[in-house]
A and B are shown apart, each in its own frame.
Chain A
Amino acid sequence: EIVLTQSPGTLSLSPGERATLSCRASQSVSSSNLAWYQQIPGQAPRLLISGASSRATGIPDRFSGSGSGTDFTLTISRLEPEDFAVYYCQQYGNSPIFTFGPGTKVDIK
Chain B
Amino acid sequence: QVQLVESGGGLVEPGGSLRLSCAASGVTFSDYYMSWIRQAPGKGLEWVSYISSSAGTIYYADSVKGRFTISRDTAKNSLYLQMNSLRAEDTAVYYCARGRAGGYFDLWGRGTLVTVSS
Contact = CB atoms under 8 A, between A and B. Distances in A.
A40 B105 CA distance: 17
Contacts of B44: 88, 100-103
Interface in B61-118: 61-62, 95, 100, 102-106, 108-111
Contacts of B50: 97-98
B59 A95 contact: yes
Interface in B16-51: 35, 37, 44-47, 50
B: contact size bracket: 20 to 34
B104 A35 contact: yes
Name the prevailing secondary structure of the B interface residues.
strand
A100 B46 contact: yes
Contacts of B95: 44-45
A67 interface: no
A72 to B, nearest CB: 13
Interface string A84-103: 00001011110111111111
A33 B103 contact: yes
Contacts, number: 65
A93 to B, nearest CB: 8
A13 B104 CA distance: 28
Given A45-B108, A98-B50, A91 B103 contact: yes
Contact of B104 (A50, A99, A101): A50
Contacts of B47: 96-100
Q: Which of A37, A47, A103 has the most CB of B within 10 A?
A: A47
A96 B62 contact: yes
Given A44-B108, A44-B109, A98-B50, A88 B45 contact: yes
B102 A32 contact: yes
Given A47-B106, A50-B102, A100-B45, 12 more contacts: A32-B102, A33-B103, A45-B108, A50-B104, A51-B102, A90-B45, A90-B103, A90-B104, A97-B50, A98-B37, A100-B44, A102-B44
Interface of A: 32-33, 35, 37, 39, 43-47, 50-51, 56, 88, 90-93, 95-103
